Structure 1
Amino acid sequence: MTDPEIQTPSFGDLLRVSTRIGFLSFGGPAGQVALMHRELVDERRWVAEDDFLQALNFCHLLPGPEAQQLATWIGWKLHGWRGGLACGLLFVLPGALVMLALSILYGFAARLDWFAALFLGIKAAVLAIIAQALLRIAGRALKTDFQRALALIAFAALFLFNAPFPLVVLAALAVGALAGSRRPDWLALKQAVSHPISERKPWLASFKTFAVWTIVWVLPLAAVFLMLGPDHVLWRIGLFFSKLAVVTFGGAYAVLAYMAQQAVTGFGWLGPGEMADGLGLAETTPGPLIMVTQFVGYLAAFRDPAPFSPMVAGVLGAVLTTWVTFAPCFLWVLTLAPWMSRLQRAPALKGGLAAVTAAVVGVVANLAVWFALHVLFAQVSVVALGPMQLQWPDWSTFDWRAASIAVVAVLLIFPLKRGITTTLAVTAALGLALGLV
């Protein structure tokens, strides 16, 4: 039954409010979802409360940033495919433009002493920000002993055995699907209320949407392959971030360690400390945190620009990265939105999602340790112990300045409950002061 209080906005009103949300969407997915709820559910009554919560649960089933996908679904709900496209793009574009400008500045200024000192404080603050994210995710995801075991296994697989991140995600999906079907209590799944679904199954419309958005996704990749070949950095960027888009369950923090390890040790696109710099920049911009991928794509092309200039190559790398990161989000949402009510009643899918969410706690813990080692120590080596590969720091390279600023960041975020923007501003100033001493 339709809520009589629900209003359907004009397309122009939807564009105006979506632009406002895009420029104000700071604070990670929790803050972004809260902003959309206040603007669209509480104040304007464009979306019913139940529909909003069901759509949020639906977006958790999909790879990619859930807040951007929720914005896309809301646009689709209100004005069909053009509404979904408009809302999804407006959620991403403000942050993408700001991140591109910051990446350009970083590319040209990274070798300057004052700039390195500034980012000493930002890197240290990132450690406290990740710790805060880890505690939040763990509090939400780990309700049973089985979920806690999944988190520990995921951490051990990644940190001790260097298991591929996609394999960890797929294994969690498979285990969760099985548990969801047979032992839902292991994952604290609630029994779904079964209601008859009378709508016809939209097979043809979904197939057409899937085909169109698949072409949209791969078209730039095909152009890069044909014009520059498979050995060019832009092809490697597009292919890598396309693969990443398929396994980005659990938010940006879940894939950051995998992305950092591949970008640093696999491709050699940037250094370990620079990944922390990129995350710090992404925390200061509106839009999804996964926008940090644009920073990586920019630097990778900027430093291997032929046959372009560094600036042109960097911009192409950033645009291509953003394209292959977010085009799949539109594919998932617009293809599967008509199936939302059916998908939410599938115990195997719900179990797979709950298991991945639990495993993400271990993944983020691995990210926290990885960043801490590379921010606090100038040298970190890999020590092989049988099948295990331990990352071990050179204690003589301990950076007391980064450690001191990290302690300040922890105090600001936890006891003093300051926001991320305030914390980054304070720690950046401390980094500038200590780094130039």
Structure 2
Amino acid sequence: MQLAAMYRILVEEKRWISRNRFLNALNYCLALPGPEGQLLAAYVGWIKHGVLGGMLAGGLVLVPGMICMMALSYGYVTGGDSTIGEVLLYGLKPAILVIVIEATIRVARQVLRTQLMIALAALAFIGTFFFDLSFVLVVIGAALTGFFAGLLGFFTVPGEMTPPAFRHAEGRRQDDLPEHIRPTVSRLVRIAVLWLALWFIPIAALIAALGLDNVFTQIAILFSKMAALSLGGPYAVNSYVAAHAVEPYGWLTRNEALDGLALAELAPGPVILFQQFVGFLAAYRNPGMLPPLLAGTLGGLLSIWIISIPTFLWIFFVGPFIETFR
């Protein structure tokens, strides 16, 4: 849903980026761990305006959803057991399903423009849904198929008679790399040191101050694993987080996890905001010496921090190589 809105605004309305450049960036972001919406926003902002543009775009794309999810989390713990709250959540779940399906169809119409693309999408769905194939294997298989099919010209879209190699070269001439995109050793070292420090220093501080058994430390460690290894799309990642939040941590029940997924779909932003909901409930129910609402707020903010910081590391460190060799 968010990706479809970004395509409409960035490509069709604002024309800040070409369709092919957008799809190239999207394919790269889908292969990275982390929320695709934030990754893509940071990537486009970085391409257009450097590191500062990437930070602003990647950060601000989360702010409305983060605020909304925090308000929804407050409402959930204070009034979610009421009759009105239960009715709202009961009606929200099927409505969110329809929204997700509609957004999927809209993006598919823009991307799946040949019979081979449609066949690849169908095979990917069958493999992941019915045979539980690893997302990484599906991506590698699709990439290899696309590489060889592209060399043979099977991805030529009707009405676009220019050979793919020529179109690629033409696109590179139009999109010459600006200075801030070219990879340099000094720039890459600065980026790695800064973002790794912002990622791991808070975790080390929590471990040193509170110990491994504290809920805030557990939140930081769990979501750090997700930030580094969360391949498979947001729904696969959210399912993994929900499973760990229910067992072994016992932060919430399965029904509450489903409620959180519905609320994440309702909030403006990536559905990875579900992890903010999990962090909020985890700290709210294990507040220690803090007031529960304050602990929940800190837990939600901590989860967002741990999820978001690696996003900028992936974009600013790996992005220059992707742009150089694309």
TM-score normalised by the shorter chain: which range applies? 0.7 to 0.9
Q: In structure 2, the residue corresponding to 1:257 is in which secondary structure?
A: helix
Residue 315 of structure 1 deviates from its aligned partner by 0.9
1:153 aligns with 2:127: yes
TM-score normalized with structure 2 length: 0.78
Q: Does 1:267 align with 2:249?
A: yes
Retained in 2: the 8 A contact 1:33–1:67?
Answer: no
Kindly state the Cα deviation for residue 34 of structure 1 after the two structures are TM-superposed. 1.6
- Asked if 2 retains the 8 angstrom alpha-carbon contact of 1:69 and 1:88, the reply is yes
User: In the alignment, residue 135 of structure 2 is paired with which amino acid?
Assistant: V
| Alignment partner of 1:55 is 2:25 | yes
* Residues 42 and 315 in structure 2, CA contact (< 8 A), matched pair in contact too: yes
Q: Give 1:367's aligned residue.
A: none
Preserved contact between residue 4 and residue 107 of structure 2 (Cα < 8 Å): no
Of 296, 305, 308, the match for 1:323: 305
What is the aligned partner in structure 1 of residue 43 from structure 2? 73
Matches within 5 A, 1:119-130: 119-130=89-100
Residue number in structure 2 paired with 1:30: 4
Q: CA 1:40 to 1:215, structure 2 compared with 1: closer, same or farther past 3 Å?
A: farther
Report matched runs for 1:37-436 at 5 Å: 37-38=11-12, 40-41=14-15, 46-47=16-17, 51-132=21-102, 143=117, 148-156=122-130, 158=132, 168-173=134-139, 175-176=141-142, 193=165, 195=169, 201-249=183-231, 251-344=233-326
- Change in Cα spacing, 1:174 to 1:61, as seen in structure 2 (3 Å) is closer
SS in structure 1 opposite 2:61? helix
Larger Rg: 1
State the Cα deviation string for residues 178-219 of structure 1 (Å, max 9, x = none). Answer: 656667799x76796375999975343223212321111122
Cα displacement (A) at 1:171: 3.8
Taking structure 1 as the reference length, the TM-score comes to 0.60
Conserved in 2, the CA contact under 8 Å of 1:213 and 1:330? yes
The answer (yes or no) to whether the contact 1:55–1:340 under 8 Å persists in 2 is no
Distance 2:185 2:121 in 1: 35
Q: Contact conserved, 1:71 with 1:88, CA < 8 A, in 2?
A: yes
Which stretch shows the higher mean deviation, 176-185 or 261-270? Answer: 176-185
- Tell me, in whole angstroms, the C-alpha distance in 2 between the residues paired with 1:155 and 1:49: 29
Distance in 2 (alpha carbons) for counterparts of 1:130 and 1:286: 13
5+ residue gaps, structure 1, are: 1-26, 159-166, 345-437
Counterpart of 2:283, as a letter, is: A
**SS of residue matched to 1:231:** coil
Residue 51 and residue 136 in structure 1: after superposition, are their counterparts in 2 closer, same or farther (change >3 A)? Answer: closer
Cα distance, 1:289 vs structure 2: 2.2
Q: How far apart are residue 121 of structure 1 and its match?
A: 1.4
What amino acid is the match of 2:63? L
- Give the drift of 1:234: 1.6
Query: Aligned partners of 2:222, 2:9: CA distance in 1, in Å?
Result: 32
Task: Look up the equivalent residue of 1:109 and give its one-letter code.
Answer: G
Does the 8 A contact of 1:126 with 1:279 survive in 2? no
| Residue 270 of structure 1: how far off its partner (Å) | 1.5
Offset at 1:144?
6.1
Counterparts of 1:38 and 1:116 in 2: how far apart (Å)? 39
Structure 2 unaligned spans of 5+: 157-162
